[in-house]
Amino acid sequence: MTDSDQPLGRLEDLPQDYRDELTKQNLVPLWPSLRGVLPPKVPTRQTKPTFWSYQSLKPLLLQAGELTPIEKAERRVLVLANPGHGLEKMQASAAIYLGMQLLLPGEWAPSHRHTPNAVRMVVEGEGAWTTVDGEKCPMSRGDLILTPTGLWHEHGHDGDQPVVWLDVLDLPLVYYMEASYHINGERQTQVPGRGDRAYARGGVVPTPVFGRSGKRYPMLRYPWVDARAALEALAEDQPDLDAVQITYVNPETGDDAENILGFYALMLRPGQTLRLPARSPAQVFHLIEGGVEVQVFGSSFTLAEADTCCAPGYEAVTLSNRLPDRPSFIFIADESPLHRKLGVYENRG
């Protein structure tokens, strides 16, 4: 037995009148809780590997469209909640919030801005758009749209079928920090200019006379056609490359697209199995195309298109493409930018 395994004194070992006096003065003895907050070697994780089937949740989401008008919801969302944290906490992991949002033809989710950062991954339906700080971003399947901290955003829908997208926010962390709030605003006026066009070609960036744009968020929409083409080119160009993966970045600086959560797209070659090493951040996997089995920490999930699952940090994850003749494409969100900034990022292999 090493020192760190020594059992420490318990609360019950202390006389009741002493404990009462501590409580009266808002004091707590550390030692009965020390191992709880600083467990040996591996952190305690509330985040349980959890799977959400799109086919199963979609009828409930459409039902929400009948039960609750958009005016009564503002954002008509079913939250993908991790039972390990308690469903009422509405979190997928310590820092990640996931929601499936429904917008029906003609509906409008009014303009607001808030401190948490968000992205939307479009799941199905055509004709919707999100306007972010005046830039109107069309929403097509697989597109990633950023609504970073403090930027005005509203959603509208000119198509004729329901549109569904996956919201990924760092809400649990920002709420925990007591820094989460929103402000409602007026309908935005569209401004000219589209980041997804200006930055459509990698390696070259717009350079107005006085230098680079200097915008923290120069690109707000990452079209799936471009991300997918980048993955296919990578795979073709490097036949031996295992992790055919791209990161969604700020095209001006190469930094992560947002400050707290990281966003990636991964292509699995036909029949490929890929082991992701055990790293400290929790992760979310959402299948854009194909069929994938995800194994993590004794759980195994079979993801069909539009299905989502999450994995706690400090666990290796194995991804297998179940299709022998076609690639599969996964959207991944994780807590890496946060862990790196805090200095707690680990890769344990």
Q: Which residues bind ligand GTQ (CB under 6 A)?
A: 75, 77, 99, 101, 114, 118, 153, 167, 169
> Which run of H or E residues covers position 59?
helix 54-67
Taking the least distance from each CB to ligand GTQ, the nearer of 75 and 89 is 75
Locate 89 and state its tokens: 């906490």
Q: What is the closest distance, in whole angstroms, from the C-beta atom of residue 65 to ligand GTQ in the complex? A: 15
Taking the least distance from each CB to ligand GTQ, the nearer of 119 and 288 is 119
Q: What is the closest distance, in whole angstroms, from the C-beta atom of residue 176 to ligand GTQ in the complex? A: 16
Q: What is the closest distance, in whole angstroms, from the C-beta atom of residue 146 to ligand GTQ in the complex? A: 12
Taking the least distance from each CB to ligand GTQ, the nearer of 118 and 146 is 118
Q: What is the closest distance, in whole angstroms, from the C-beta atom of residue 130 to ligand GTQ in the complex? A: 8
Distance, CA of 296 to CA of 311 (rounded, Å): 7
Q: What is the closest distance, in whole angstroms, from the C-beta atom of residue 35 to ligand GTQ in the complex? A: 36
Taking the least distance from each CB to ligand GTQ, the nearer of 114 and 279 is 114
Residue that is written with structure tokens 């993801």 in the block: 303
Look at phi and psi of residue 210 and say left if phi exceeds 0, alpha if psi is from -120 to 50, else beta: alpha
Taking the least distance from each CB to ligand GTQ, the nearer of 174 and 296 is 174
Longest pairwise C-alpha distance within the chain: 74
Locate 291 and state its tokens: 């069929």
Q: What is the closest distance, in whole angstroms, from the C-beta atom of residue 114 to ligand GTQ in the complex? A: 6
CA distances from 66 to 52, 75, 110, 124, 164 (A): 22, 14, 19, 18, 15
Taking the least distance from each CB to ligand GTQ, the nearer of 81 and 268 is 81
Q: What is the closest distance, in whole angstroms, from the C-beta atom of residue 327 to ligand GTQ in the complex? A: 29
Taking the least distance from each CB to ligand GTQ, the nearer of 77 and 92 is 77
Nearest to 137 by CA among 223, 257, 263, 76: 223
Distance, CA of 145 to CA of 247 (rounded, Å): 14
Taking the least distance from each CB to ligand GTQ, the nearer of 114 and 141 is 114
Q: What is the closest distance, in whole angstroms, from the C-beta atom of residue 339 to ligand GTQ in the complex? A: 23
Partnered with residue 108 across adjacent β-strands are 156
